[in-house]
Amino acid sequence: MFRLRPAVEGDDGAIRALVKEGQINPTGIKWPRFVVAVTNNGKVIGCGQVKPHRDGSCELASLVVTAEWRGRGVAAAIVMYLINAYSEDLYLMCRSSLGGFYERFGFRTLQETEMPAYFRRINRLVRLVEFLRKEGETLLVMKREAK
């Protein structure tokens, strides 16, 4: 069993550890923007945030669940919590293999011409790196329209 709650200052270390474990970009980690999933004994097992960008867009970001809790609905619960907490459009970036997971929540893949400026810059940079690495994964930029 787990529950979700807004992060508190004492969660900062656990959030940073999860972000490191998930090999997620650690920039923009500010605990007040996070929601955390915690076990009955208070252990933080997952997190996610909505991160604002200078161009006015908001990104569903830093979604990670500790390895032993993956596949138990924690990530889906965090996504739903964040979607319900924000009324504006939400964007996200993810590996192409995760696109189907986010489509379940109403996100759709964007073409570069549809992306806000921040995501266009990141997308171009990542395409260059992907060209050099050729690992079979690509970066998706997705959007969920506000309802």
Alpha-helix residue ranges (DSSP H) falling in 104-143: 117-133
Q: In this structure, which CATH number among 3.40.50.2020, 3.40.50.10440, 3.40.50.150, 3.40.630.30 belongs to the domain 2-144?
A: 3.40.630.30
User: Across all residues in the chain, what is the average pLDDT?
Assistant: 90
Q: Which two tokens stand for residue 38?
A: 């915690």
Question: Over 70: is that where the pLDDT of 136 sits?
Answer: no
What is the arithmetic mean of pLDDT over 72-78? 98
pLDDT, tens digit (0-9, with 9 covering 90-100), for 10-49: 999 999 999 999 988 888 899 999 999 999 999 999 999 9
How high is the pLDDT of residue 50? 96
* Angle ∠(61,26,84) on CA atoms, nearest 5: 20
- Identify the band that residue 103 occupies on the pLDDT scale cut at 50, 70 and 90: very high
Predicted TM-score (pTM) of this structure: 0.86
Per-domain boundaries in the chain: 2-144
C-alpha distances (whole Å) from 109 to each of 95, 98, 115, 141, 147 are 11, 11, 10, 6, 18
